Structure formats: C-alpha cells, structure tokens
A and B are shown apart, each in its own frame.
Chain A
Amino acid sequence: MKKHQILIALIILSVMGLIVTRTAVLNNLSIAGLKLGKIQTELDSVRLENSRLKKELLKLSSLNYISSQASLLGFVEGKGNFTFNKPIPLAIKQ
C-alpha cells in the first residue's frame, strides 16, 4: 500500500511541477513578443534611415549635381590639352 501511495504522490508532484514550468515558459514567450515587436520597429526605422541616406548620397555623387556645383564654384570646361611626350619622329633630316 505504501508503495502505491508514494507512486501516486510522485506522479501528482511531477504533474504539478510540469504545469508550473509550462506556465513560466509560456509567460516568458508572451513577453518576448513585445521585445520582438520593438526590435522590428527599430529595424524598420534603421532601414528607412538607410534608404534616405542612400538617396542623399546618390544625389550628391551624381554627375548632374557635381556639374552644377562646379559651375557655381566657377569651374569651366578646359579647352586645351598638352602632352609631355612628343611623338618620336620616323626620321630626322641632318
């Protein structure tokens, strides 16, 4: 009889223990959702900022923008060119 009682008590204790554990784990999981939500919002915000900065960077490095800024700064198109090395003549008259 005693053995049976001990066994039943053990089973009841195990079941109660598992119920408590399950409750604790599920509670933690439900809170994790809040953190996930916050991280997702932050991620979206960072992605948006990246997109804005990329757009700004591309605009500033576009040739159209550089050309207009160069004009404002007084740069003009170079008309002449020069070379340091003269072509070697085929023959020289002495």
Chain B
Amino acid sequence: MIWRYRLILLIVILFFAAIIARLFYWQAVKGQELSLLGKSQYASVIKNLPERGEIKTSDGFPVATNKISYLVYANPKEIKDREKISEILSSKLQISHASVSSQLSLDKFWVPLKSGVDPEKKREIEKLKIPGLGFEKRFERYYPEASLSSHLLGFVGKTETGEDQGYFGLEGYYDRLLRGKEEITVEVIDALGRPILSRVNKDTENTKGSTLVLNINRTIQFIVEEKLKKAIEFYGASGGMAGVMEPSTGNILAISSFPSYSPDNYKDFEPELYKNPFISSLYEPGSTFKPVVMSSALDLKLVTPSMKCLICGGPVSIGGYEIHTWNNKYHEDINMVDIIRYSDNVGMVYVAQRLGTDNMIKYLGKFGIGEPTGIDLQGEVSKPLPEENLWYPVDLATKGFGQGISVTAIQLLGAFSAVANKGVRMEPHVVARVQSPDGEGAKIPLKTLGRTVSSQTAKIMTEILVNAVNKGEASWTRLKGYRIAGKTGTASIPIEGHYDPHKTIASFIGFAPADNPKFALIVILDKPTTSIYGSETAAPVFFDIARDLLLYYGISPSGE
C-alpha cells in the first residue's frame, strides 16, 4: 500500500516540477519577448513632431513662423477601386492622376501622396471617408511678410532623408537652434485602440526649436525694400542692394537686395537667386572706397586735410597705364578735402603712393577688407588681399580709388561704420537674442573688432565727407538742414580683362546725423541705364531713404 502513496507523490512532484520548469521558460527565457509583444498590444507610440522656432523682428513680429499642414498618405493594400480613388484624389489634391495612380499601385503599406495640404482641404477629403487614407500632421514654414527680407531669412528645404533643413540666411546659419526635437511618447490603449490612460510624456513644449529675435527693424526694412525696388525700376538697373547698420553696436537694421525670391515657393525660382549678394557677391567699390584710403593716410599723418596734391594737374601714368579723373577735369594744387569732394582719382593715386603698399595692406586689414566680417548669415564670402610682393605700382594706384580690389557690400558698410563710430569697428549682427522654448533668453553680445583709425582722424574724415555731401556731385539731392556724411561711387565693371565702358555699379554710402550717427546706409544699383553715375542714381535713393529714417527716429534738422 505504501508504494502506491509514494508513486502518487512522485507523479505530483514531477507534475509540479514540469510546471515550474515551464514557468521558468516563459518568465525568464522568453520574458522580454513577451513583454514587448504585450506593449505593442496595450501601448500606442506617438511621435510629437518638432515645431521649428520662429524668427521675429525687433518689434516681436514673427517674420518666419509655422502653420499646420498635413501629409496625405495611403495604404494601397486597403484601397479597392484604385482607378476611381485616384481620380477623386487627383482632383481634390490638385496633382496629376498619373502620380496618384502610380503611388497606389505600389506594393507597400504606406505611400505618401501630397504634403502641405491645408486643414480645410483635409476636412473635405476626410468627409469622403476613403478607406486606407490617412493624414499626418506636420508644421510648415510660413512667412507673413511674404518675400520681405527673403535673402536675410533664407528658406527651409528638405534633406535627402526628408527632414527639414534651413538653407542660406538665418534659416541656414541658425538651423541647429531653430530645429525642434522629435519626441516619442507612449499612450496606453484598450483592445479597441482607444486611450485608457493619459500619455506618459514630458512637457511637449520641449519639442519646439529656439526663437530668434532680430536687430532688424521691420519698418526700416520695409522702407528700404520699397524704395530700392522702385529705384531699380526707375533707373533701369538690373538689380540693387541696400543695407542699414547701427555704427555704435554693429546691429543690422535692414538688408535688402533684388532680384529676390519668395521663401514660401523657393523651388519656383532660379537657385542663383538664393544667395544674398549683400554678403556673397564681390564687386569693385570705386569711389566709395576712397574714404577708407584717405582715413588711413590721415591717421598716419602722411597727408593732412590742407596738403596739396602735387600730381593732380593732369592724368598720371603708372606702369604703362594712364589714370584719368572720372570727368577728365583736373584741379592743380587740389587739397585732400577737395580730392574727396571732386572724387579725384589722380588725387587718390597721390594719397595711395604716399601711403605705400605695406601701410595700405595694414590699414585695409584694420578696416576688415579682405576677410569675412563674421556676420551671422550663411553664405558670407571674402577675397583675401594679395601678398605684398604681388603688388605692382599700378595695383597700389588703382586700389587708391577703389578699382582692382573686390569687396562685399557688408565689408564696405562695416568699414564706413567704423569711421562713424569714432574709428572703432564693430562686428555686424542680425540676431539680437535667442529665446529657448522655456522662455529663457540668451543675448548675443556686442563684439568690437578693433580700432581702425584714431577718433580724431575719424572726426576729420567725417567733416570731409559732410563737405563732400554739401558741395560735391550729389549736393543737388542732399537733405537740407541735416549734416550727413557720405560718398558717391561710380565703379567700372571688370569684364574679360578690361573694364566695360558703358556699364557701372552706382553707389552711395554714408551715415547720419554726422555728429552722432544713428545709422550707416549703403545703396548700390547694378548697371543703371538712365545714368551710369552714382550721384544721379544711387545718391537720390540714399537721401530718400535717409529722410524717412531721420523722420522715423524723430531727428530734427540741425539748421545747416
């Protein structure tokens, strides 16, 4: 009898041992796999799409922001009548029937049909209750001021993997800060897919990118753009650009250039238009460069304002080249003040020769010529100055009056602003501060790049430039009652080894009010046809903008 009890006990023990072994197998060996399987059944993974940071002008208006749009996608395996559905969708989405049809015939579970669909269109399509069709919410870049400051802003395109990426301008330079973070959250759902518990997630505000607050003044930007656009048409120019900078801080208040493009529809424009010529195009500045050379010579006391030019009685010959004045008028014994007033090329050759190559290179370096300014925009270029041993006498001479040297508009504006700022050169900045999604702001600090000339030299140069405005070629269009320092420029354009005799780059650069400059402004017109001279084209535009800026700042005339 006892052996029966022992047999039953053994069977029970073996039975429970088997159960324990099986439990061990499912809980220890297969545990992780089952856990994942369970999660896929009770949890739904949700992607919080990143919202790109905004770009705001100094008054807090967002010139680049985001709007909600949808990507329409389909599951071809769930679509029965492909022909009919393709017909309906191509009409609703306004895309070709062939593209919809080809996507729906793919052997995939998910195919994109169209992105950038607005919410009203999405609701319209949803009402059709097409099985297998879905919508993915996305954020799309939107520019409320349309193409205002398009070169400054840049645009948002796509990478090879379909992610948003900023190109050119601020969108390109600050892309990493503007991008948000994609966040994955988990939602617990029931057997029918409905949520049971709220999402297990962090604060969704963290998916937003940082916001840029600019130094750009929206009103000034608008004024500059409108007047430049009208001027290009009026003077028959092929393009133009203008920029406004605050000399004491380096803050960029406006930059505009045409021809331009719309960042909303950048694909509809030629890629050559994407780059900002204000920072990316080199040109020979012509007479607007003369104050830089003259300041350098004055600073070293190699010339004084009343010193007379000893070679200005006629054209001068250097290295086989004959250098003339722009109007073939010569003033014997002209002094330095009048060299700038009459924009005398021969006079500037005299100044450049007194300066010498080594001093010229040294001072051009101080003024930032030949190196990038460091402006916070993507795409800045610069052409380095040649080494001293590569300079011929004719190079020194021509650089004296702004030919044979290439600069960008921002370099020249920065150099001129240094004269306005008592000789101190500031780094130009478009962005004032960066605001993180949680509201904390980081101010971009002002940066001094160095002293160009002494404050006394800067003051003397300012008076020379005021005299040039009051009594020079552009005096007919100056603003009476205001002391404005400025210089005209009519630069020849190099073309295949010589200069084009019929086309010029007409410009005017200056700052106002001369005694306490609030702004420095440069206007450049590319190949104007009504007149080739800066005094007759760019100068009136400069003073037209300057008048509005002085009114905007509430600066009353000083009586001069």
Contacts and interface: CB of A to CB of B under 8 A. Distances in A.
Interface of A: 29-30, 32-34, 36-37, 40, 47-48, 51-52, 54-55, 58-59, 61-64, 67, 81, 83, 85-87
B145 A33 contact: no
A15 to B, nearest CB: 23
Contacts of A81: 547, 551
Contacts of B68: 47-48, 51
Query: Which among B144, B146, B547 has the highest number of chain A CB atoms within 10 Å?
Result: B144
Nearest to B558: A87
A55 B145 contact: no
Contacts of B557: 83, 87
A52 B65 CA distance: 12
A29 B196 CA distance: 6
Given A63-B219, A64-B145, A81-B551, A33 B61 contact: no
Contacts of B67: 51, 55
Contacts of A51: 67-68, 119
B140 to A, nearest CB: 11
A36 B198 contact: yes
B222 A33 contact: no
B62 A85 contact: no
B142 A55 contact: yes
A24 B558 CA distance: 85
Interface in B172-217: 189-190, 194-198
A81 to B, nearest CB: 6
B218 interface: yes
B446 to A, nearest CB: 28
A25 B222 CA distance: 63
A61 B547 CA distance: 25
B229 to A, nearest CB: 12
A82 to B, nearest CB: 9
25 contacts: A29-B197, A30-B190, A30-B196, A33-B189, A33-B195, A36-B196, A48-B119, A51-B68, A52-B119, A54-B65, A55-B142, A55-B144, A62-B61, A62-B145, A62-B146, A63-B145, A63-B219, A64-B145, A64-B148, A81-B551, A83-B556, A85-B556, A86-B559, A87-B557, A87-B558
Contacts of A59: 144
A63 B194 contact: no
A68 to B, nearest CB: 11
B194 A61 contact: no
A87 B559 contact: yes
Given A33-B194, A36-B195, 12 more contacts: A29-B196, A33-B195, A34-B194, A36-B194, A36-B197, A54-B65, A55-B67, A62-B146, A63-B145, A67-B226, A85-B556, A87-B556
Contacts of B198: 36
Contacts of B195: 33, 36-37, 40
A29 B189 CA distance: 11
Give the secondary structure class of A's interface: helix
Contacts of B558: 87
B199 to A, nearest CB: 9
Nearest to B146: A64
A86 B189 CA distance: 77
B221 to A, nearest CB: 8
Interface string B60-71: 011001011000
Nearest to A66: B222
- Shortest 7 CB-CB contacts between residues of A and residues of B: A58-B144, A33-B194, A83-B556, A87-B559, A63-B222, A33-B196, A36-B195
A52 B148 CA distance: 21
A64 B219 CA distance: 11
Contacts of A52: 119
Nearest to B554: A83
A47 to B, nearest CB: 8
Interface in B41-84: 61-62, 65, 67-68
Interface in B502-560: 547, 551, 556-559
A62 B144 contact: yes
Interface in B138-154: 142, 144-146, 148
Contacts of B219: 63
A32 B196 contact: yes
B222 A67 contact: yes
B48 to A, nearest CB: 13
Contact of A58 (B65, B194, B222, B226): B65
Contacts of A87: 556-559
A58 B59 CA distance: 13
Nearest to A79: B547
A30 B119 CA distance: 31
A29 B62 CA distance: 43
Contacts of B196: 29-30, 32-33, 36
B486 to A, nearest CB: 20
B551 to A, nearest CB: 6
Contacts of A85: 556
Nearest to A81: B551
Contacts of B551: 81
Interface in B299-342: none
A13 to B, nearest CB: 29
A86 B144 CA distance: 42
Nearest to A44: B137
B300 to A, nearest CB: 34
Given A32-B196, A64-B148, A58 B62 contact: yes
Nearest to A78: B551
Contacts of B222: 63-64, 67
A83 B197 CA distance: 68
A88 to B, nearest CB: 9
B376 to A, nearest CB: 24
Nearest to A57: B144
Given A33-B196, A55-B67, A63 B559 contact: no
